[in-house]
Amino acid sequence: MPEGQLDTRHVQAQANATAPNEAMLDHLHSVKLIAVATQIRDTLTHYGPLTIAGLLKHHPLTAGLEELVAYLRVAQAVGATQLEVKESVVVRDRQGEVLLASIPGYLLQATQFPRQLEELAL
- Residue partners of 73: CB distance under 8 A and separation at least 6: 33, 122
Q: What is the model's pLDDT at position 89?
A: 94
Q: What is the model's pLDDT at position 1?
A: 46
* Domain spans in the chain, listed from the N-terminal domain onward: 30-119
CB-based contact 66:99 (threshold 8 Å): no
In angstroms, rounded to a whole number, what is the distance separating the alpha carbons of residues 56 and 41? 13
Mean pLDDT, the chain cut into blocks of 10 residues (122 residues total) = 63 65 56 92 98 97 89 96 95 85 96 92 80
Predicted structure pTM score: 0.74
Q: What is the model's pLDDT at position 10?
A: 72
In angstroms, rounded to a whole number, what is the distance separating the alpha carbons of residues 122 and 25? 24
Residue 10: CB atoms within 10 Å = 5
Q: What is the model's pLDDT at position 119?
A: 87
